[in-house]
Amino acid sequence: MNARYGFKALGLFQSQEEIDNYPIAPSGNLRPGDIKYEDVNGDGIISSMYDYVKIGYGDVPEITFSLDMNLSYKNFYATLLWQGVTNTDYTLSGTYDTGVLSSTNYTASFAENGNSPYYRIEGAWTPENPNAKYPRLTTVNSGNNAWHSTWWLVNGEYLRLKNANIGYNVPSKVLKSTPFSSVNIYLAGTNLLTFSHFKYVDPESPSVSNGYYPQQKTYSLGLKVTF
């Protein structure tokens, strides 16, 4: 359900001659460093109507899993909740057929104000960097490179330490001379560790949509006293 469709990216154009001898792009003026898409039906024109193919699972994970751990040793204890998904993916950027850009400040590659994340600029194609991870830099939102394609697809599986609580119960013999019947000291946190395929985007995001705020990492130190 909700499988993802887009162009199959074959690489980046390295010369104007290569561009001149390739099928017509879906939009924009091609230059070296732009993404090359597969002409699936072989009609000499790259179009979303005839050349889109299934490129990913989509936003809805096929598999979700979790592990709830409870550990104790003498008066120390720890509870850990691990949570994750697999068989899912998300896109770093893309433009809908309407021309509306879909990205966030963490992944913007075609910002009209010229701003993009540092990793995106550092990894951009240049004549001196032909094997770049990302296409050339541009301020054109709806150019050739912005289409949904395998180029911007990221494996969305992840494993996250969602909740953790580490504590210590003060022994009752220590409390005999106090008015307390029990004392518990604990350190708790949420979203403490995340293992994913792309460190610049929260893997729990609903793909890369405008306005999404990433999950926050929180810590708390507590003292629970019973009289």
Using one digit for the tens of pLDDT, what is the confidence trace for 44-87? 999 989 999 999 998 889 999 999 999 999 999 999 999 999 99
Claim to verify: residue 103 and residue 206 sit in the same structural domain: no
Q: Tens digits of per-residue pLDDT, 3-16?
A: 889 999 999 999 99
Is 169 within 8 Å of 77 (Cβ atoms)?
yes
Neighbouring CB atoms inside 10 A of 203's CB total 23
Boundaries of domain holding 44: 4-57+95-153
How many domains are contained in the chain?
2
* Same domain membership, residue 100 and residue 145: yes
Of 153, 183, 203, the one marking the end of a domain is: 153
| pLDDT reported for residue 96 | 55
Query: Is 181 found in the same domain as 199?
Result: yes
Average pLDDT across the chain, whole number: 87
Q: Which helix (H) or strand (E) holds 118?
A: helix 118-122
**Domain check: are 72 and 175 in the same one?**
yes
Question: Are both 16 and 33 inside the same structural domain?
Answer: yes
Q: Are residues 18 and 127 in the same domain?
A: yes
pTM: 0.82
Reading the block at residue 168, the tokens are 């210590």
- On whether both 115 and 209 belong to a single domain, the answer is no
> Which residue in 139, 154, 133 sits closest to 57, CA to CA?
154
212 and 149 in a single domain? The answer is no
* 107 and 41 within one domain: yes
Count Cβ atoms below 10 Å from residue 152 Cβ, excluding itself.
Answer: 25
Same domain, 16 and 36: yes
pLDDT surpassing 80 at residue 115: no
Q: Are residues 43 and 119 in the same domain?
A: yes
- How far, in Å, CA of 110 to CA of 78, rounded? 46
What does the pLDDT read at residue 125? 94
Tell whether 46 and 129 lie within a shared domain. yes
Using alpha carbons, list the distances in angstroms from residue 213 to 88, 206, 210.
Answer: 20, 10, 9
